[in-house]
Amino acid sequence: MLQAVQSFNVEDTGDNMRSLMRRLFPICRSITGEGVRETLRILQEHIPLEIREVPTGVQVFDWTVPREWNIRDAWIKNSEGERLVDFRRLNLHVVSYSAPVHQRMRLAELKEHLYTVPHQPDWVPYRTSYYKESWGFCLSENQLAQLNETEEYDVCVDSSLTSGHLSYGEYLLKGTEPGEVLISCHICHPSLANDNLSGIAVAVELARHLASSPRRYSYRFLFIPGTIGSITWLSQNEDIVSNIRHGLVLTCVGDPGNITYKRSRRGEAEIDRAFVHVLKQSGQAHRVIEFSPYGYDERQYCSPGFNLPIGAMMRSPHGEFAQYHTSADNLDFVKAEALVDSLSKCREVIHVLEHNRFYINLKPKCEPQLGRRGLYGAVGGSTHTKDWEMALLWILNLSDSRHSLLDIAERSGISFSVIADAAKVLISKELIKEVQGKSGLFHPDGSRSAEVDSPGHTL
């Protein structure tokens, strides 16, 4: 009878996500290149995603698909031929998209191309230069301290920038009804764990769970390079966009911080309300932040020409944890419990979206007699609480085709899963039936109706 989110083996699921991250961690990814393809091929062992290739030079709105970047090796060697900075030991050592270079130079000249994290002497920063051709090395302060002014260094970046492709992964799980949910994560960072790999791991696991569950919506998973990937996808799929009902960008979902949900640009879209409801009901500390045009791919999905109902889920927001974009964002920083909790929240939110429908009370004149139907006091025995009976009463009262189950959950303060279970029982007793919602309270574009502010409304 219960519709609550199917449970899963927490330990196995956490292990699956951690082991996928361990496997992907050493790969040198960027916004294009073999590292992205290798990553996508590994994901294909878990979910049957399609790898799409968009050629260099293709115009995507105001942008152009860039040249493909690949790298084989890079180093800074001293006169003894010793590698003081070695790409093969840590791929963060090379500024992503560095142009090829092989020169001998002294520290004074080399310094213009070196980056460190000054306040963390052991950490190596992560830097990129995608759209301005240059080269550079990232190293720790301790490594920098070993370089001296008199030595001549052998500096090499063995990379290529050539006409090629931008690669991304797409996996569509078909549903039974029209409408899609878009789940998007970025795959363009090299050896960083929370920023990029955690989102990939949760998305893959979510896709596997959804693939084995009945579903009303279709789910489209995108594994794309940040910014240019979502711009490219949007520019090539404008015909699909109108079908997107809800969406989530997953980023930085594995650190031990509390969950942060960033609202869509619409602010009160169903995905926003569903996420906020799940977080409130969880009783866990969390943060809900307003949309801003900075962050990950929600910037593109929520640009005014699309304005999609897509929010972003993260734990500690980028830039608010010290390890962000440094070598300290490693596998130790990401916790299995945090990954599992992030996955659980996504599944609960999807449960809300899947079951949020409108009903009409078939016996609306006074309350129907619940006791006679075995619905009051006795139903479900000891597992049902006061919430259960209140859920029945709230649903009967508000099922006028203008209030969805999420409206009822929000207004009653009862968790959506209890409301959804109670609705199922009321349907079986022929006390309510599903109707096309009139969306009296919420327009399809997510904005609140003027009716909300009219006298008498206390929502």
Binding site for Zn ion (CB under 5 A): 195
Residue 69 CB, nearest approach to Zn ion (Å) = 17
Going from the C-alpha of 243 to that of each of 298, 352, 357, the distances in angstroms are: 17, 19, 18
Residue 135 CB, nearest approach to Zn ion (Å) = 20
Q: Would you say 195 or 407 has its CB closer to Zn ion?
A: 195
Q: Would you say 195 or 354 has its CB closer to Zn ion?
A: 195
- Report the residue number whose CB is nearest to Zn ion: 195
Q: Would you say 120 or 237 has its CB closer to Zn ion?
A: 120
Residue 192 CB, nearest approach to Zn ion (Å) = 7
Q: Would you say 124 or 352 has its CB closer to Zn ion?
A: 124
Residue 149 CB, nearest approach to Zn ion (Å) = 34
Residue 188 CB, nearest approach to Zn ion (Å) = 8
Residue 206 CB, nearest approach to Zn ion (Å) = 21
Q: Would you say 195 or 297 has its CB closer to Zn ion?
A: 195
Q: Would you say 128 or 218 has its CB closer to Zn ion?
A: 128
